[in-house]
Structure formats: structure tokens, C-alpha cells
Amino acid sequence: MTTMTDAALAEFKMPDVGEGLTEAEILKWYVQPGDVVTDGQVVCEVETAKAAVELPIPFNGVVRELRFPEGTTVDVGQVIIAVDVAGGSGSTAAAPAAVSVPEPAAPEPEPEPAPQGRQPVLVGYGVSEGSTKRRPRKGDVVAVPAAVAQPAPALVPEPEAPVKGNGRPLAKPPVRKLAKDLGVDLASLTPSGPDGIITREDVHAAVAPAPEPVVTQVQVQAPSQEPVAAVPAVVQDGVRETRIPVKGVRKATAAAMVGSAFTAPHVTEFVTVDVTRTMKLVEELKADKEMQGLRVNPLLLIAKALLVAIKRNPEISASWDEAAQEIVRKHYVNLGIAAATPRGLIVPNIKDAHAKTLPELATALGELVSTAREGKTSPGAMQGGTVTITNVGVFGVDTGTPILNPGESAILAVGAIKLQPWVHKGKVKPRQVTTLALSFDHRLVDGELGSKVLADVAAILEQPKRLITWA
């Protein structure tokens, strides 16, 4: 790779797209060798600790080489793409590089890149492996022809397998693990996936031959004997466990939760409260002209209630500085909202939530949720939180003991709001009730302070007019 470095070659390194992040996984490549790129053009998408970020390249030129395939975790500071920035000579320099890759089998591989009119194909899942093949091809050009000539006299997938650089067949980590568990040699399989990738079905098919003939023979008499047993035997054989690589969001979440659970001494308190009046206020606000088009739901008022409670008990907005042995009091609230996304749990926060009006808070909540669902939450949006809300009630759960987001002092869990018998004005009536749970860092917050904050939130939700009188 480094032998290609010259005055006309610019290398783009993995940047620190967050605050102090050390690595990122390449999710998609939007370009391939030979493509012309311009300053500011997005060339790939990477996933950091908890966010997917698109990386623009800072110069013009022709892509010479992609140093890593999709799905690879790369350390910050490592070169991920090389671009020929020498104007006209750039394209000529890129051309030989492109030709040298397929040179051993120019007629064969060349048609593959040609249909790369499906440029985004380089970024898809089955193409993720395709990228894996393309990158090593650059460095292992000499080894490719030999590998292609030997294992693949007639199969198209086999020529792809050696492109791995070390002769290993192409397969994703979970598929390799499955093959290992089942004792299947990947090199003996005929890939059926795109670009010569070995799939789970290929591995299962390799262990199925023994049962399969039985199924075929027994099919005549098995209909009455044990048809059900025959099917599971083929479908579930060896799939009792699945191993999933820990990376990306899951890796970051696991590290954060372990760090928090074993660093901050947690205390959790609970309170059950009648929120009937709050639910009525939610309905009234939905019909209010000032709130039209905004996201109005119980979470909005719960968030506002917590902000008012923090204003009445400001000592809870703090953090613990272990190195300096100091408690850092924060005169602001960056309110975190735990959000379940396709990538996993993330906790973006609303900056300076304490200073926002109800309509402004509703707008911020709406933007936070939609951005999280689209997987576009930036690392900066998840930094600097002070207190968090997690709404487990959306899953029908009554309550829980939430774990603090690292660096924060408290987290409020909101349970499901249900119609329950409740003593109201001396009579048992059906009322809308929920359970709140507040976990806090006992190094920062003692029982009295934690209890006051939780009691204030409950009192506001029971009598929402306190949002005015207490604010």
C-alpha cells in the first residue's frame, strides 16, 4: 500500500468524528477505484460508538485504492482511502491500477467492475464482501491468478474466494462460525451468494446431504410416520446457537453500562402516581393552535416536569470528576432521551433543555426522535448529557431499575400508563396511573435529594398546574 505513495497520491485517514473516539466501522463505500471524487464529496459511511456518520473527502482526484473493506473496524488515524490528486495524470495512474487488478483474468473480473454502475452496490450487504475482494485484489494481484487457476476450473465463486488475499473463501464471520461449529470446510463449498459469497444456506446444505436422501426415500412412507421430525432435522440441524460479533453500538453500550454499573453506586427509588390530569392536559395541548404540528405526548410533559424538579433541586445536575476528586455542579440541563433504534440503544440529548419553552421542547423532542430513527444522530448529540429519561412504558412495562448513562447523575424510568382502581376524593375510581423510577449516583446525590426530585416530578404529573406555579 505504502509503495504507491508519491507526490501525486493523497491519503485520507479515519478522522475522530466524535469526542475522543478511537475507532469506527466502515459501513458503506460510496466510491470505488477509478472513480473521480471532488472536495467535500461523501465517500463512505462509518459507524462510531453510537452513530452512523458520512465522511466527505477533503480533496479532488481519482480514487486509487480503498484500504479497508466494508464491515472492517478501523482505528482513528489509519489511512482508509488513497486518491490520485495529479490532475490529468491522476486518471492515467488510476487506469493502470484498475487494469493491474484484473490483469490475471482481465476478461473475467473486468465485467464485474463494469456493472458497477451499481456503485451503491459496493455499499450493500452481499457487496460488503464484494468490497472485501476488491481491496485485496490491489495488493495481491500476483497471487490472484494462481489461486484462480487452481481451485476454480469451472466455478465462478472460487475465483472470488482466493481474492481474499490468503486463499480463504469469502464468508461473513457468523457464517464462518456456523461452518466451524458444524465441521464444514468452507473451501469445499460452492458459493451461492452474490459475488461468490458463501451463505448460511450453503453451509446447511453441506450438512444436509446425509439427512436429505433419507427424506427423499422416506417421503413415500414418511408422510404418515414422521414428516415433522424430518423437516426440523434439515432446517434446524446445528442451529442451536448463533454467535454475533460484538461491535459498533452494542460494543459501546456494553462498555458504557459495565463502566457505569461498577463505577457509580446506584440507588433506585420508586413512586406510583395518578397522571389522569396530565393525560387530559396532553389532549388539550394537541388541540391547541400554538402546539399544532408539534410532537405532543405524555413524554413531553414528563420531560418538562423533570426539568422543573431539577430547577427546584439544582444540586442533582452534577458529575463526578474522579481524577480531580471534585463534584462538578452544572448550571444547565442537557436532557438525554433513551431511544431504541435499528442500530441499538442510543441516548442523544437536548442541549440546554432547561431554557426551552414547552413548544421549543416539543420541537427538540420531535427532531431528536426522528433523527435517531433515521440513524443520523451525530456523536456530538450524545455527548455532555446531565440527566436522562427512559420510557420503558412504551413496551408495556410497569417500571425498572435503569442504569445511569456514564457521566450523568440521574436517570428517570417511566412505566406504562394504565387504567387502575385509585382512591380519588375519598372514592375508588378508575384513574390513569404510572410508576416512576429514579436511579441516581449516590456519590453525588444522597437519599434526601433524590427523593425530593422524584417526589416533585410525581407531584407535577399529578397536578400539572404546578408546571406554572413551580416554574
Task: Kindly list the catalytic residues.
Answer: 442
Q: What is the dihedral of CA 52, 58, 62, 63, to 10 degrees?
A: -30
**Contact in structure between 223 and 319 (CB atoms under 8 Å):** no
Q: How far apart are CA 408 and CA 388, in angstroms?
A: 8
User: Which uninterrupted H or E stretch holds 305?
Assistant: helix 298-312
User: What's the farthest any 2 CA atoms get from each other in the chain?
Assistant: 89
**Contact in structure between 180 and 173 (CB atoms under 8 Å):** no
Q: How far apart are CA 389 and CA 347, in angstroms?
A: 9
User: Which uninterrupted H or E stretch holds 260?
Assistant: helix 248-261
Cell reading at 393: 412504558
Contacts of residue 446, defined as CB under 8 A and 6 or more positions apart, other chains included, come to: none
| Burial of 395 (C-beta count, 10 Å sphere; 0-12/13-18/19+) | exposed
**Contact in structure between 55 and 46 (CB atoms under 8 Å):** yes
Expressed in percent and rounded to 5, the helix, strand and coil fractions of the chain are 40, 20, 40
Contacts of residue 186, defined as CB under 8 A and 6 or more positions apart, other chains included, come to: 168, 169, 171, 176, 179, 198, 203
Closest residue by Cα to residue 60 from 26, 30, 90 = 90
